[in-house]
Amino acid sequence: MSAAAEVVFENCLPLKPFPARKGKRLAPGWWWSATTGRLVHYGSAAMRLHVMLLDRDPRVIGLAARPLELRWHVPSRVRAHAPQLMLRLADGQGVLADCTGRGELSRCQRSLAAVVGEICTAVGWRYWVLGPVDPIYRRNVTWLAGYRHPRHHGSQLLAAALQEAFAEPAPLWEGVRGIGDPLVVLPALFHALWAGQLAAELEASMHERMPVWAQAAE
């Protein structure tokens, strides 16, 4: 209880690295977080996906890979689990999370989730099990993530021009050409979509005629 209140877990390093598993398509790696400006370790494709999505989530202000381990007693033994992610939300609440690529949890996973959920509730945290994501939304956010670094923000004049061009919903290409050279404007537009300064319907495939609008226009 005292550790949950005093330790800034979202700033801690992983307890240990994720192992490389033979036959897996994605090896463990590191994700540069636009939210924290630091690297976040991931160990699977599902985990990498959700690290990316959480990095874009405006509620999240802190993100770390398994910085703590939980232990509890069951008959005749002690069980342990290190949740894959620790988040800090803008309201100050802590969240532990595990990632899965499956739509339904196994009986063992449900049992584990129930225990971890109880532990989190006891210390005023939340526990999330993050599952599959719509494939179109995943592809769109993956594309935008390539422009998450601040170097793609562009100048203040360009940022203001984007807000003005899309003050009302307008087709992407029409707004871009109205501002200037697409090679200069498009990276800034994609960065603004990642950062939430501009919005679009990301559950549908992105294309040059897709409507884009400034958040103030919602």
State the pLDDT at residue 216: 59
Fold of 2-130: Trna Endonuclease; Chain: A, domain 1 (3.40.1350)
Query: Tens digits of per-residue pLDDT, 1-40?
Result: 888 889 999 999 999 888 887 777 778 999 999 999 999 9
Q: Average pLDDT of 123-151? A: 96
Window from 22-31, 119-128, 197-206 with minimum mean pLDDT: 22-31
Where along the chain do its domains lie? 2-130, 135-217
Burial (0-12, 13-18, 19+ Cβ within 10 Å), 20: exposed
pLDDT for res 218: 45
* Fold agreement between 2-130 and 135-217: no
CA distance 39 to 68: 17
pLDDT in tens, 138-178: 999 999 999 999 999 999 999 999 999 999 999 999 999 99
- 135-217: which CATH architecture? Orthogonal Bundle (1.10)
Exposure letters 27-39 (e unless 16+ CB within 10 A, then b): ebeebebbbbeee
Q: How confident is the model over 45-81, as pLDDT tens digits?
A: 999 999 999 999 999 999 999 999 999 988 889 999 9
What is the per-residue pLDDT for 18? Answer: 86
